[in-house]
Amino acid sequence: MKSTPFPGQLNTYHGKVRDVYYIENELLVMIASDRISAFDVILPNPIPFKGQVLNQIAAYMLKATSDICPNWLLDTPAPNVAIGKKCTPFKIEMVVRGNLVGHAWRTYQAGGRVLCGVSLPDGLNENDYFPTPIITPSTKASEGHDEDISKENIIAQGLASAEDWAVLEKYALALFQRGTPDSSRYFYADGFEERQIKKEKQKQLSKEFVREWLIENNFMGKEGQTVPHMSDEWIDTISKRYIELYEQVIGEKFNPQKLTDEATYDLVAASLAKLP
């Protein structure tokens, strides 16, 4: 992005994936970059069109779920940019799980039967459904790693009151039921049950395949580990998987767009001038 500040810009925050610009303490300009992170580490190579995919899916889902809960979005002036109201966040990630997969499966496979204060039943296989969806929250750290946390500790530490937690829980489960993706995992329904019975690997749309590749190459973000080399072919594969996610979830053909920083800046500035 251009070094010139946006009109009214007061501050900037650079996250692992998104860059956020604070406008007059009222608005946020959020730019979804092509950076990709795993195990809380930014991988060295950007993924073409990843930012556009994430931004456009998020905008689609925010509009599709505005009847469930209010949200911050006001405009999407560029393919990878969203502008919305500045809010005071709860520093919690509301992770809703319908299946035993990813971090939950790795914990379970290692013998853990409690995740974020939630008891997990014995006898489950990878990707099996939980009896009902569970919430396994994590803290959202300004720096460093996010950490698993229980509902009880969230309330005890003042990250949310019991009353606020009840609202967060209600919204999170309703959004999960509607089906909203960010780092979510979508399974292909066709053949799912058969693959589970045979204990075969499930076909899914998520970045879990990136984590699996890193694990296979001895990287889990731990001290002393080195991110493995990402070939051009592998980067292209990741990009195509993100595009496939967009097309399967949204049901529309993805239209890749690559704007210059100058063009993006001009679109954002024009949108800010129009917003109240």
User: The domain spanning residue 264 has which CATH number?
Assistant: 3.30.200.20
Global pTM value: 0.83
Rounded distance between C-alpha atoms, residue 186 and residue 253, angstroms: 18
204 vs 75: which has the higher pLDDT: 75
> In this structure, are 172 and 106 located in the same domain?
yes
> In this structure, are 82 and 126 located in the same domain?
no
> In this structure, are 71 and 114 located in the same domain?
no
> In this structure, are 55 and 110 located in the same domain?
no
Domain boundary among 150, 183, 216: 183
Q: Would the pLDDT of 172 be above 70? A: yes
> In this structure, are 73 and 109 located in the same domain?
no
Rounded distance between C-alpha atoms, residue 1 and residue 231, angstroms: 26
The predicted pLDDT at position 225 comes to: 94
> In this structure, are 117 and 71 located in the same domain?
no
CATH of the domain at 105: 3.30.470.20
* Three-state secondary structure call for residue 103: helix
The predicted-structure confidence for 57-90, as pLDDT tens digits, reads as follows 999 999 999 999 999 999 999 999 999 999 999 9
To the nearest 5 percent, what fractions of the chain are helix, strand and coil? 35, 20, 45
Task: Mark out the alpha helices in 9-78 (DSSP H runs).
Answer: 50-64
The predicted-structure confidence for 8-63, as pLDDT tens digits, reads as follows 999 999 999 999 999 998 999 999 999 999 988 999 999 999 999 999 999 999 99
Among candidates 102, 103, 100, which has minimal Cα distance to 121?
A: 100
> In this structure, are 77 and 147 located in the same domain?
no
Contact 95, 137 (CB under 8 A): yes
Rounded distance between C-alpha atoms, residue 79 and residue 172, angstroms: 26
Q: Which two tokens stand for residue 252?
A: 């529309």
Q: Please give the residue range of the domain that contains residue 175.
A: 92-183
Q: What is the mean pLDDT of the chain?
A: 93
Number of domains in the chain: 2
Average pLDDT over residues 182-199: 86
Rounded distance between C-alpha atoms, residue 222 and residue 205, angstroms: 26
Identify whether 260 is part of a domain. Answer: yes
Q: Would the pLDDT of 183 be above 60? A: no
> In this structure, are 103 and 165 located in the same domain?
yes
> In this structure, are 96 and 171 located in the same domain?
yes
For residue 165, name the pLDDT band (cuts at 50, 70, 90).
Answer: very high
Rounded distance between C-alpha atoms, residue 223 and residue 225, angstroms: 6
Identify whether 100 is part of a domain. Answer: yes
